[in-house]
Amino acid sequence: MALCEAILCALLAVVVGGLYLAGAFRKRRANEPPLAKGSIPWLGCALDFRRDGVDFLRRMQKQHGDIFTVLLGGDYFTFLMDPLSFGTVVKEARAKLDFNEYAHELVNKVFGYEPSQTTHKIVESASTKHLKGSGLVVMTQAMMDGLRTVMFHSLGSAEGGKRWRQDGLFHYCYNAVFRAGYLALYGNKSHESATDSQEAKKDDFQHSEEVYNEFRKYDQLFPRLATSTLSFGKRKEAEHLKRLFWDLLSVKNVYQKDNISRWVSDQEQQLAEEGMPEYMRDRFMFLLLWAAQGNTGPASFWLLLHLMKNPEAMEDVGKEVDRVVKESGQEVKPGREVINITKEMLTDTPVLDSAVEETLRLAAAPLLIRAVVDDMKLKMNDGREYALRKGDRIGIFPYLAAHMDPEIHPQPHVFKYDRFLNQNGTKKEFYKNGEKVKYFTMPWGAGTSMCPGRFFAVNEMKLFAFLMLTYFEVELVNKDEEVPPLDKTRYGFGVMQPAYDVQFRYRLRC
Ligand code: HEM
Ligand SMILES: *[C@@H]1O[C@H](CO)[C@@H](O)[C@H](O)[C@H]1NC(C)=O
Ligand SMILES: *[C@@H]1O[C@H](CO)[C@@H](O)[C@H](O)[C@H]1NC(C)=O
Ligand SMILES: *[C@@H]1O[C@H](CO)[C@@H](O)[C@H](O)[C@H]1NC(C)=O
Ligand SMILES: *[C@@H]1O[C@H](CO)[C@@H](O)[C@H](O)[C@H]1NC(C)=O
């Protein structure tokens, strides 16, 4: 009897403990945001959230207002939906809201990389040195060289280049920008003489195509890998691809190349100096490739597609590009070397800048996550104060809370290429409830985790647009083709991808 009772008690304790861990007993405390635990223990609202994050958060916002806490797969996330209050989270001290914890978890799960204490600092300092200022001049030039290799090599003779070619627009843009960026960051094939140079270019052309194809396979598995929802078979495929990239981008392999960027080699060397083992640095190389090359290709696709769908925008941007090329003293002529677009030339393009910003407003949907290190108070812009619990997380999803807010951006679903420009050419300011909004778009995140590659990213997109507009005629195969919807599984992971590709034709202008 006593034994039975003991066993029953133990069972009960396990069940109650399990329910406790699953969050069944959590109650909203005084001053805490409204709480939504969903109907499934532990998972909470995770299924709804993953199915269509925007739809889910919109419903929650309607029901609960600008701040609420939801249970998602064992963690409580407090979503802050008021863009006027973003500053309090973004600027909060590391000691209270920590960005690293969640990032570490993700990076470990997806890339097998175990970050060292100093990884984040090393990334920041190398990026300041090599992806801004004079470092950016070098990187922009390297990207230009890469684009020359991947976009023009295959066209062969001027005659061959003049016939129409057809491709998926998403495939074409992602492929070109990824490969050129890969060559710019991870180096190109070494060669001895000038005659070797054509051979080396051909090798770079072919090798980068293979890398892109493998990368895309991983890229497509990525969202479900990050949310641990891959089937067994797909999980094995992801594991295989991960190992392939650890090897392909291994420290040993990468240093076989010439002209490897200082951004990559400096980070690798600093990690080596602090004693990180080589196999872990191999994994770091893969993480860098993904961070650097997973977003600019898709963003370039949206930019070109929106320009093609908006003839007025295409014309205005086209004029600006022509003016800049002319002012540089260069000419686009058949049989001539491809023009040389420098960082300097990219600094005087207000119309293209606005079009890029508008593209990112519509297509960039990162989810910013911070861990609540200790019980704290969060003060909203309107003065309300909320209690946040230690161990919870804060989520900011600017795509819904700012990019798509019709008060900040009227007709938020419409691409308006000059949305960010005043008539006099200065940058526009944005308002909500009569108050100036600082965070009117946030494609790069903000605060400590803000994208350190953003200046290079914008230059990559602009170089690609410059070359497409100056060298090619482009048209959609189906002129009435609508802009495809977003692939909803990618909300939260950066630049969105289309649910399906769109066919287009292109040929050299001359
Ligand atoms: C359109 C293109 C891009 C977009 C929209 C974008 C967006 C972002 C965002 C939102 C984050 C922060 C993620 C977070 O808060 O956890 C981030 C991080 C990062 N991005 Fe980008 N990015 C782009 C291109 C690039 C490029 C071209 C590079 C490098 C060449 C780059 C390098 C990085 C790195 C290294 C991090 C992690 C930084 C850290 O350790 O905190 N990104 N990016
Ligand atoms: C390799 O990259 C460097 C630096 O961008 C460039 O100067 C060189 O022409 C490239 N080599 C080939 C063969 O494309
Ligand atoms: C590329 O690498 C080669 C061989 O190391 C070197 O001679 C050349 O100057 C480099 N080019 C650039 C632009 O760094
Ligand atoms: C392009 O211009 C830059 C800066 O003026 C120069 O360093 C580089 O050699 C040029 N490249 C080519 C291929 O003309
Ligand atoms: C440009 O126009 C905006 C809005 O119309 C105005 O607020 C700003 O003062 C103007 N700036 C200059 C330099 O004229």
Mutate to test the pocket of ligand 5, among 424, 427, 428, 429 (most ligand atoms within 8 A of CB): 424
Q: How far, in Å, from the CA of 141 to the mean position of ligand 4?
A: 7
Q: Is the CB of 398 under 6 A from ligand 1?
A: no
**What is residue 425's predicted lDDT score, i.e. its pLDDT?**
84
Q: How far, in Å, from the CA of 292 to the mean position of ligand 1?
A: 7
Q: Residue 483: inside a domain, yes or no? A: yes
Q: Which residues contact 107 (CB under 8 A, 6 or more apart)?
A: 113, 115, 287
Render 121-185 in DSSP notation, one character per residue.
Answer: HHHHHHHHHHSSHHHHHHHHHHHHHHHIIIIIGGG-SHHHHTS-EEEEHHHHHHHHHHHHHHHHH
Q: How far, in Å, from the CA of 166 to the mean position of ligand 2?
A: 28
Q: Residue 331: inside a domain, yes or no? A: yes
Mutate to test the pocket of ligand 4, among 152, 328, 342, 344 (most ligand atoms within 8 A of CB): 342
Q: Residue 296: inside a domain, yes or no? A: yes
CA distances from 203 to 31, 53, 289, 323, 444 (A): 63, 42, 20, 35, 34
Q: 328 by DSSP, 3-state: which?
A: coil
Taking the alpha carbons at both ends of the chain, their separation in whole angstroms is 94
Largest CA distance in the chain: 97
Q: How far, in Å, from the CA of 363 to the mean position of ligand 2?
A: 32
Q: How far, in Å, from the CA of 335 to the mean position of ligand 2?
A: 20
Q: Residue 72: inside a domain, yes or no? A: no
**What is residue 13's predicted lDDT score, i.e. its pLDDT?**
56
Query: Please, are residues 109 and 225 in contact by the beta-carbon 8 Å criterion?
Result: yes
The two three-digit tokens of residue 52, written as one number: 């269509």
Which residues does residue 28 pair with via DSSP β-bridges, in sequence order?
none
CB hemisphere CA count around 29 (13 angstroms): 7
**What is residue 194's predicted lDDT score, i.e. its pLDDT?**
75
Low-confidence ranges of the chain (pLDDT < 50): none
Q: Is the CB of 258 under 6 A from ligand 3?
A: yes
pLDDT in tens, 461-505: 999 999 999 999 999 999 999 999 999 999 999 999 999 999 999
Which range marks the domain in which residue 473 is found?
119-366+443-508
Phi then psi for residue 503, to 5 deg, are -80, 140
Q: Residue 438: inside a domain, yes or no? A: no
Phi then psi for residue 385, to 5 deg, are -120, 135
Q: Residue 423: inside a domain, yes or no? A: no
Mutate to test the pocket of ligand 2, among 145, 182, 204 (most ligand atoms within 8 A of CB): 145
Q: Residue 51: inside a domain, yes or no? A: no
Q: How far, in Å, from the CA of 290 to the mean position of ligand 4?
A: 28
**What is residue 335's predicted lDDT score, i.e. its pLDDT?**
77
* Ligand sitting nearest the alpha carbon of 426: 5
The two three-digit tokens of residue 414, written as one number: 């419409």
Specify the residue with its C-alpha closest to ligand 3, atom 5.
Answer: 258
CATH (domain of 169): 1.10.630.10
Q: Residue 499: inside a domain, yes or no? A: yes
Q: How many domains, the chain?
A: 1
